[in-house]
Chain A
Amino acid sequence: MNISSDPWVWVSALFTIAIFSFLWRDNPFYKIAEHIFVGVANGWAVTFYWHNVLVPTLFDPLFRQGQLLFTIPFVIGMLYLTRFMPRVSWLVRIPIGISMGYYVGASIPAVSQALIIKQIQGTLLSPHNFQAWHAGSMGIVWSIILLIGVLCTLSYFYFSKEHKGILGTTSRIGIVFVMIGFGAAFGYTVMARISLLIGRIQYLLGPWLGIVD
C-alpha cells in the first residue's frame, strides 16, 4: 500500500467518496461536492469561452484590429440580451431566427440522406445487405428479421386506424421488437454505468491508495 502524497489526488478521491455517499442517503458531504462541482464547471466554462471564443474570434478582430465587418455578428449576438428588457424583448427573435435558419437548412438534407434514405436502403433485401451481416447464408435470415421488425414497429406507431385485424397482428409483433430494443438498451446502460464505477474504483485503489498499479 502506497498512499498518494499528491494533494490533488486526495481532493479528487475525497470528492468521489462524497458523491458516492449519496448511495447511503442524502447528506451534507454529497451536497457540498455537488455544489462545488456545479460552481467550478460553470466558472470554468464561462472563462474558457471568454478567452478562447469571444476574445479571439470577435472582440480582438473588432476592437483591436478594427475589422468593422465584425460589427454585424457583434450586434446580432448582443440582441440575445434584449431578452432581459421587456419593451424590446421581441428583438431576440432575430438571432434565434438566424441560428435556426442556418442549422435547419444545413441539417435537413444531411439528416434526410443519412438517417432516412441510407437506413431504408439498409433495410432492403439485397445481396449487399445480406453480406453486411458477415454471417454467411444466415445474412438472408437476419435481413428478413430486420425487415419484419422495421415494418411491424412502424405499424405499431400508426395511430390513424384501430389496431385490429392485420394491423393488430403486426403491431403486436412490433411491440415485441420494441421491447427487445428496450432490453438491449437497458443492458448496455448497465454495462456503461458499471464501467464508470470500475473506472472510479480503479482510481481510488490505484493513484490514491496505491493498492494496485
Chain B
Amino acid sequence: MTMIDVLTKIDRRIIYLILFSVVTLPIIFPSARSVRVMPPVEKLYRAIDEIPEEKALIIDFDYDPQTLPEIEPMAFAILRHAFTKRIKVLAISLYVQPLGLAQNALVNVAEEFNTRASTQEDSIIYGRDYVFLGWQPPPLIPILGMGESITNVYKTDYHGNRTDTLPLMKEIKNYGDVGLLVSLSSGDPPKWWVEYAQNRFGLKVGAGITAVSASEFYPYLQTGQFSGLMVGMKGAAEYEEQVETELGIKVRRKASESLPSLTYAHVVIIIFIVIGNTGYFISRSKQRRSQ
C-alpha cells in the first residue's frame, strides 16, 4: 500500500478525532484573539447606534437550541449595545422554541447592567426600557399586524401583563415608532420581515443569521434591503469586538473565544480536502498510465 493509498483511505473516525482535538484544545488553552470588523457588521452596528431617541429597536429572537452557539452571542452583544445607548427594546419571537432563550438573554444582560447601576435611572427596567412581547402565531399576523398596532397584536406580554399598561408601549405604537428591526434567526424570518414589513410599512431590517444561510441572505445586503448583516459565530465575534472597542464594555466574549477553534478546524478540513483531492488525481493519472 502506497502513501497515497493510506492518505485517501483514512478512517473517518480518525478525522473526527483530529477535528475534536483541534476544536477542544483551543478552548482549554485559550490564545490571543484579534477580530477585524467587516463592513456588513459595521453597518448593522451603525444602524442600531443611529436609532433616534424616540424610536425603538425590535429584536426578533428566532433561534433554537440547535443554533444557539452561533446566534446567542449576537443577541447578547446587541442587547449590551442597545442598553448602553438607552435604546428602547421590544423583544418578540415568531416561533415557540426561542421563547426561553430570548428570556434568558434579556434577563442576563439586564442583570449585568443592574448589578453596576446605583440609581433607578441607571438601571434597565422591564416595561420602561424593554418589553418582551412573547409569541403570537402564525408569523404573518405579528409581521403585518404590528404595522397597524403593536398592542392589538400582543394584547399581553410574555409575563401575562396587559401591554397597553406598560409605559414603553404607550410610546411605541406601531412600525412608525420603530427605528430598526433585527431578526436573529436560523431560518427564513429575515426574508419575511423584508417581504411583508419592509415592503408595506418601510420598516428597516437588519439580520443575524447562521453561516449556513449566508449565501442566501447576502443579496439582501447588497440591494440595501438589509441595513446590516451578521453571519455565524464570526459575525457575532465582530459585533462583540465593536461593542468592546466603541462602548468599552469588557465582558466575556463567547463568540470571540471560539474563533481559534473555528480557525484550526477550518485549517484541518482544508488539509483533508487537499489530501483527498491530491490522492484522487494521482491515483487517476496512475490508472490512465496503466491503461
A and B physically associate = yes
Interface residues of A (CB under 8 A from B): 23-24, 45, 48-49, 52-53, 103, 106-107, 109-111, 113-115, 118-119, 121-122, 129, 132-134, 146, 181, 184-185, 188-192, 194-202, 205, 211-213
Q: Which residue of A lies closest to B72 (CB)?
A: A199
Which residues on the A side are within 8 Å of B23 (C-beta)? 194, 197-198, 201
Which residues on the B side are within 8 Å of A200 (C-beta)? 69
B4 is an interface residue with CB less than 8 A from chain A: no
Nearest 9 Cβ contacts at the A-B interface: A199-B69, A122-B223, A192-B211, A110-B195, A191-B211, A192-B212, A195-B233, A114-B195, A188-B211
Q: Which residue of B lies closest to A193 (CB)?
A: B212
**Shortest CB distance A69–B (Å):** 17
**Shortest CB distance B256–A (Å):** 12
Q: Which residue of B lies closest to A133 (CB)?
A: B222
**Shortest CB distance A180–B (Å):** 10
Bound-state Cα–Cα, A38 to B88, Å: 39
Which residues on the A side are within 8 Å of B67 (C-beta)? 192, 196
Contact call B225/A198, Cβ cutoff below 8 A: no
Q: Give 19 A-B pairs besides A114-B198, A134-B39, A192-B211 with Cβ atoms closer than 8 angstroms.
A: A52-B96, A106-B144, A110-B195, A110-B196, A110-B199, A110-B200, A114-B191, A114-B194, A114-B195, A188-B215, A191-B211, A191-B262, A194-B261, A195-B211, A197-B19, A199-B69, A201-B23, A205-B27, A213-B252
**Shortest CB distance A135–B (Å):** 9
Contact call A118/B140, Cβ cutoff below 8 A: no
Query: Quick one: given A191-B262, A195-B232, A198-B258, are A184 and B269 in contact (CB under 8 Å)?
Result: no
Which residues on the B side are within 8 Å of A197 (C-beta)? 19, 23, 265
Contact call B219/A119, Cβ cutoff below 8 A: yes
Contact of A132 among B24, B199, B224 (CB under 8 A): B224
A–B pairs, 25, beta carbons within 8 Å: A107-B195, A122-B219, A122-B223, A129-B222, A133-B222, A181-B215, A188-B212, A188-B213, A188-B214, A192-B70, A194-B19, A194-B266, A194-B269, A195-B69, A195-B232, A196-B67, A196-B69, A197-B265, A198-B27, A199-B68, A199-B70, A199-B258, A200-B69, A201-B20, A213-B252
Inter-chain contact total with CB atoms closer than 8 Å:
124
Interface residues of B (CB under 8 A from A): 12-13, 16, 19-20, 23-24, 27-28, 39, 66-70, 96, 135, 137, 140, 144, 191, 194-196, 198-200, 210-215, 219, 222-225, 231-234, 252, 254, 258, 261-262, 265-266, 269
Q: Which residue of A lies closest to B231 (CB)?
A: A188
**Shortest CB distance B217–A (Å):** 10
Contact call A121/B223, Cβ cutoff below 8 A: yes
**Shortest CB distance A84–B (Å):** 24
Contact call A198/B262, Cβ cutoff below 8 A: yes
Contact call B69/A211, Cβ cutoff below 8 A: no
Which residues on the B side are within 8 Å of A115 (C-beta)? 195
Contact of B96 among A45, A121, A201 (CB under 8 A): A45
Which residues on the B side are within 8 Å of A201 (C-beta)? 20, 23-24, 27, 261
Bound-state Cα–Cα, A191 to B19, Å: 13
Most chain-B CB neighbours within 10 Å: which of A23, A185, A191? Answer: A191
Q: Which residue of B lies closest to A199 (CB)?
A: B69
**Shortest CB distance A22–B (Å):** 11
Most chain-B CB neighbours within 10 Å: which of A107, A118, A119, A211? Answer: A118
Bound-state Cα–Cα, A109 to B196, Å: 9
**Shortest CB distance B271–A (Å):** 13
Which residues on the A side are within 8 Å of B96 (C-beta)? 45, 48-49, 52
Bound-state Cα–Cα, A213 to B16, Å: 25
Bound-state Cα–Cα, A118 to B194, Å: 11
Query: Quick one: given A24-B13, A134-B39, are A190 and B266 in contact (CB under 8 Å)?
Result: yes
Bound-state Cα–Cα, A201 to B254, Å: 13
